[in-house]
Structure 1
């Protein structure tokens, strides 16, 4: 397919208008999510903006579409009702199932001059505590939902203290004619667009204040980095719309007037072929972009390979893989499964993103293939990224490529705040207009995380060149390093395992456990440490940290004796990492808690282990 860029219709935002003379991303005055939607309504109003494939009633999807003009009508109608129940700057939470009503509710809250809080309906299993935390933190004046979810939402809200109970508005009960009552509201580029709640993988969820400037800047950064300048590029996503990448997939079309096709996370999990079919259909019409974490690619390679005779074409697909760290096995397994269906070797784009930076931070070049390196395990334990010799014990790492334009990423010593040289592992710090403003209602934590200062910069080869000496940085909590000008992500600082003075990475131990026995479900292992005296049933006063490994059973192994797998895990962990696992447990599928975005929730798993709640699972 010819990748030549298609000129934007007159009146739409042009990427060149968002760059200064030096090529830096600078949004034109007045550009917000709402102004972008208004441009599309005025210039490509009759074209599709969003499409939803609804598998809730049959094996064949019901297809629902909104043109830009129809979207505009729905936004005015819903926003008019929002204005009756909430004042400017109030928070408006969206507690609705995946679908077009969620999209209209999110954008309408912003159009009304309020702050959108994208969350989820209470039906999402296992995440009631997170929902309660987010509602308690954001204190919304109004909740938007749909008729299908209204009863469950009312039931959930009724359990809240009376002082915290917001009003409820059912989106699909609102007629388009209500738009006549909408009062035009000026939305400034530095107003908060929405609160993006973090996944809660290592700490309680916090609401990141994302401004319109941050959203617009980050969308432009992604479009430039992934080469999405062609208006024939469309999105396909099953990612939940309360997740930062899910929101970005509905953000892309606002910039260049394209469209995105959505399906629900449940539809994907039940039959991952649905995702593949949607990608194939879009691939025939133009370039298509999608995104998912490690587990989704592994799941699809295992359960979503097309049936014999299926006409699947993935030749024009770009696949962002954005877990931290990215799994080389996930890329290889998926690529081998779908290469016969036209998937090009350049399709996968290992990337790094974080909610505190709106989302996107780095990815590999549009024409590049993923780069996998082997690092010496012992040197890695000392904080040094050194390639392993032939036959040496090694850890694989996948490059996340180049940092986005007009964004700076340095590797800092988390203890001293000084910039580290390339090849040294430290905390990733970020500076740029795409970084959020702070955590909602947490000024002290916001200063600590979003207001870091570099104590010194490298005299040569500094990655901070261009940032003022007194510039503030975002502490991501992620560990990484530079090699060959590319950024690698090594894991979360809070997840690091320190035993006998050695630094170990939990995902490395988890990989060892998964490799040790066919009874272990790949991608479903959690490793962490707990003090000896806090282990369930402990009788010692010893506070020395002990290693715990929790693994889920692979499919079809429920009748197998777990003792052999537990022994294999212990042996492999000791042999490869030189540490004893004080406790190893094999749970049924679904036993390890995960975040709402599908990542391992090690923090939650550790908490359940300490309370002995894992036994109930």
Structure 2
């Protein structure tokens, strides 16, 4: 754990080395002068003329490529920061409501350089997420909003409709001249100051602003670099992930640590033509190691829609693929592996990982030389709280992908959430984590902060405890997830809030959804939501499934019958209602995960009533 030695590293000493962030025992001990801004200043001093970020714009005719060097980024940051200083004092919130691109990066880092707390959000043009944007703005109460000239009109129109919010000043990033940089007033930023508010995705509850400090983000970036072996400066990032998402921010954080660069594109560009992602990865692979990150659906989508021709020249031999959905899908990995093995994809490319916003991002991942693999366990035993390995072809086999080992200088124990006592390996419980990458808490939510970030272990195992090395006087973070350890590996089975309970028996929604998706060819795989609703004093199982492409005219009656029969046969769970809905009807979080809570709300509100194909039981 961090020793708080008060060490500093002069910028004149050169680029930051990971060794500079380790103590004599090899534990992460972040120097106290390391912040996002000091890292960028170090890169400006030593690799200023090298590209920091590249953006591929596919919105017009052809591909427009924009690049910014570290020196140029420094000027843009200072100019934006100077303008922010006219509207905000240190510690006040400044939201970024801009489209994906280099202006977003300059705005995000510029707000932090000014001493403000950045709030990375998105322009109102993002479809389906107006409510989340409204909640985040009213919660964070920014005094200023950073946007672009192209998005400004939409931002101002949206702000006019937000109730209970004092109108923030709107600053147009691309209209701030470089000359404004000369008016920037240097601001002291401490490593324990809040860098930004990371709003949670809202999959199981309303979005909350997680207070990420410079120490937390710096520690977590070092943890990622060590865990995935990204020590070579000639490692590039490629990402289409939204910059308001924690995984997206990590892809612009990597280059800041070691002076490398990342190539970015918009989520829309990826969705419309996933081959663009593959082509960018191949280009990066040709010049050095390239790392990317995405959730399950992206790898499945690309395997289905983004495979190039055999004569394309695509080379993925130097690619690292972080897959960070909870839980990770072995089917998504297998589909991508099969599709891209002919293009040199290494068998060890995939890095199944576990992370949450409250821990800045990364908690665990598999070793650099390890291959992603699934453990098959008895689903009934798992529902009772025990992981019992079985053969893959066992009638009750459920696949769970290993997330490997916990990151350096981080402790993770599996706990009975009701008693607070550590559980032995093989028992399912809630992962609790402790380390310098843990956020400070939730913005303006002291009770939730105490409940989530203030946990104390009531007891640890006499032998084989995963709490060894943790600080006994320090709080633990409750993750809200479910998981277990087995044979030295961490497995995540889902979210506590998503567990379906019927007649006192617990079911994994992921298992129910996988069974439903495989029951009929008209169901779109990965787009099924299972949840319970209360009716006449009893819990009823509801399954909402999107149609697969090309099945709009197919009678869904047979699919409904097949889903009910399959779920009952495999899980002994009676399905009270099945809704077959058009593609895109199931709500998803801004990171692409199923929003079961929102789907359940939509169901109860009657949103799917006009699409019902069977009477409710």
Q: TM-score, normalised by structure 1?
A: 0.96
**What residue is the counterpart of 1:505 in the other structure?**
508
**What residue is the counterpart of 1:436 in the other structure?**
439
Cα deviation for residue 393 of structure 1 reads 1.7
Matched, 1:576 2:570: yes
Matched, 1:446 2:446: no
Q: Which among 227, 230, 252 is matched to residue 228 of structure 1?
A: 230
Cα deviation for residue 392 of structure 1 reads 3.5
Cα deviation for residue 500 of structure 1 reads 1.9
Matched, 1:173 2:175: yes
Cα deviation for residue 467 of structure 1 reads 1.7
CA distance in 1, matches of 2:527, 2:165: 40
**What residue is the counterpart of 2:579 in the other structure?**
585
Q: Per-residue displacement from partner, 1:545-593 (whole Å, max 9, x unpaired)?
A: 1100000000000010000100000000000000110000100100100
Cα deviation for residue 9 of structure 1 reads 11
**What residue is the counterpart of 2:98 in the other structure?**
96
Cα deviation for residue 320 of structure 1 reads 0.3
CA contact (8 A) 1:398 1:488 kept: yes
Q: Per-residue displacement from partner, 1:49-91 (whole Å, max 9, x unpaired)?
A: 0000000102x31100000000000001000000001111000
Report SS of the residue matched to 1:164.
coil
Q: Which among 45, 49, 53 is matched to residue 46 of structure 1?
A: 49
Report SS of the residue matched to 2:441.
coil
Matched, 1:244 2:246: yes
Q: Which sits farther off after the overlay, 337-346 or 385-394?
A: 385-394
**What residue is the counterpart of 1:204 in the other structure?**
206
Q: Per-residue displacement from partner, 1:405-445 (whole Å, max 9, x unpaired)?
A: 00011100011111000000001111000000000000000
CA contact (8 A) 1:323 1:352 kept: yes
Q: CA RMSD in A?
A: 1.2
Unaligned runs of 5+ in 2: 1-10, 612-617
**What residue is the counterpart of 2:593 in the other structure?**
599
Structure 2 counterparts to residues 420-499 of structure 1, below 5 A: 420-499=423-502
Q: Per-residue displacement from partner, 1:464-509 (whole Å, max 9, x unpaired)?
A: 1112323210000010000111100000000001112211100000
CA distance in 1, matches of 2:190, 2:245: 24
Cα deviation for residue 28 of structure 1 reads 1.1
CA distance in 2, matches of 1:431, 1:83: 35
CA distance in 2, matches of 1:155, 1:57: 25
Q: Per-residue displacement from partner, 1:96-126 (whole Å, max 9, x unpaired)?
A: 0000000000000000000000000000001
Cα deviation for residue 29 of structure 1 reads 2.1
CA distance in 1, matches of 2:269, 2:529: 26
Q: CA 1:226 to 1:381, structure 2 compared with 1: closer, same or farther past 3 Å?
A: same
**What residue is the counterpart of 1:609 in the other structure?**
603
CA distance in 1, matches of 2:567, 2:12: 59
**What residue is the counterpart of 1:215 in the other structure?**
217
**What residue is the counterpart of 2:267 in the other structure?**
265
Report SS of the residue matched to 2:493.
strand
CA contact (8 A) 1:481 1:487 kept: yes
Report SS of the residue matched to 1:467.
coil
Cα deviation for residue 616 of structure 1 reads 6.4
Cα deviation for residue 307 of structure 1 reads 2.6
**What residue is the counterpart of 1:520 in the other structure?**
523
CA distance in 1, matches of 2:63, 2:368: 32
CA contact (8 A) 1:516 1:565 kept: yes
Matched, 1:353 2:347: no
Q: Which among 362, 365, 375 is matched to residue 364 of structure 2?
A: 362
Q: Which among 85, 88, 109 is matched to residue 87 of structure 2?
A: 85
Report SS of the residue matched to 1:26.
coil
CA contact (8 A) 1:221 1:404 kept: yes
Report SS of the residue matched to 1:522.
strand
Q: Which among 406, 411, 415 is matched to residue 409 of structure 2?
A: 406
Q: Which among 185, 188, 194 is matched to residue 186 of structure 1?
A: 188
CA contact (8 A) 1:96 1:149 kept: yes
Report SS of the residue matched to 1:550.
strand
CA distance in 1, matches of 2:109, 2:335: 38
Q: TM-score, normalised by structure 2?
A: 0.96
CA distance in 2, matches of 1:24, 1:72: 31
CA distance in 2, matches of 1:466, 1:400: 21
Write out the 4+ residue segments of structure 1 that deviate beyond 4 Å after TM superposition. none
Q: Per-residue displacement from partner, 1:266-296 (whole Å, max 9, x unpaired)?
A: 0000000000000000000000000000000
CA distance in 2, matches of 1:163, 1:359: 29
CA contact (8 A) 1:10 1:43 kept: no
CA distance in 1, matches of 2:242, 2:111: 18
Q: CA 1:241 to 1:484, structure 2 compared with 1: closer, same or farther past 3 Å?
A: same
Paired residues in the alignment total 600
Report SS of the residue matched to 2:278.
helix
CA distance in 1, matches of 2:155, 2:608: 28
Q: Per-residue displacement from partner, 1:434-464 (whole Å, max 9, x unpaired)?
A: 0000000000000000000110000111101
Unaligned runs of 5+ in 1: 1-7, 533-541
Q: Which sits farther off after the overlay, 154-163 or 466-475?
A: 154-163
CA distance in 1, matches of 2:559, 2:584: 18
Q: Per-residue displacement from partner, 1:137-189 (whole Å, max 9, x unpaired)?
A: 00000000001100100100011247521110000001100011100001000
Matched, 1:57 2:57: no
CA distance in 1, matches of 2:605, 2:406: 41
**What residue is the counterpart of 1:567 in the other structure?**
561
Report SS of the residue matched to 2:309.
coil
Matched, 1:379 2:373: no
Q: Which among 535, 543, 552 is matched to residue 549 of structure 1?
A: 543
CA distance in 2, matches of 1:229, 1:99: 26
Q: CA 1:162 to 1:505, structure 2 compared with 1: closer, same or farther past 3 Å?
A: closer
Report SS of the residue matched to 1:251.
helix
**What residue is the counterpart of 1:334 in the other structure?**
336
Q: Which among 143, 146, 157 is matched to residue 144 of structure 1?
A: 146
CA distance in 2, matches of 1:614, 1:285: 50
Report SS of the residue matched to 2:286.
helix
Cα deviation for residue 308 of structure 1 reads 4.1
